[in-house]
Amino acid sequence: MVEVKREDVEAALDQIRPALQADGGDITLVDIDAQGIVKLKLKGACCGCPSAAVTLHMGVERVLKSLVPGVQGVESV
């Protein structure tokens, strides 16, 4: 299994952030576990948004998997 590097995840999140910030939200990297699961915290308007789960899995997870080797999934904390 490929080790997921924190700086690679942060760089990928920097590409996603402008879209989230445009809607009044943001995202923070909390942790990356040994299995390649990236733990993220949604902030601002994203916290209470009914579409947050869809955004996280269909948007953020898709981008992270395509840009960062070893990412297996994302989890909201």
What local confidence, expressed as pLDDT, does residue 41 receive?
92
pLDDT greater than 80 at residue 46: no
Q: State how far the Cα of 15 lies from the Cα of 46, in Å rounded to an integer.
A: 17
Q: State how far the Cα of 8 lies from the Cα of 66, in Å rounded to an integer.
A: 12
What local confidence, expressed as pLDDT, does residue 4 receive?
96
Q: State how far the Cα of 72 lies from the Cα of 37, in Å rounded to an integer.
A: 6
Mean model confidence pLDDT for the chain: 91
Q: State how far the Cα of 48 lies from the Cα of 5, in Å rounded to an integer.
A: 29
Question: Could you tell me if residue 1 is inside a domain?
Answer: no
pLDDT greater than 90 at residue 48: no
Instruction: Give 35 or 49, the one with higher predicted confidence.
Output: 35
Taken in order 74, 72, 59, 12, the sign of the CA dihedral is: positive
Q: 59 is in which domain, residue-wise?
A: 6-76
Q: Which CATH number covers residue 24?
A: 3.30.300.130
What's the total number of domains in the chain? 1
Q: What is the pLDDT of residues 8-38, one digit of tens each?
A: 999 999 999 998 899 888 999 999 999 999 9
Q: Which amino acid is at 10?
A: E
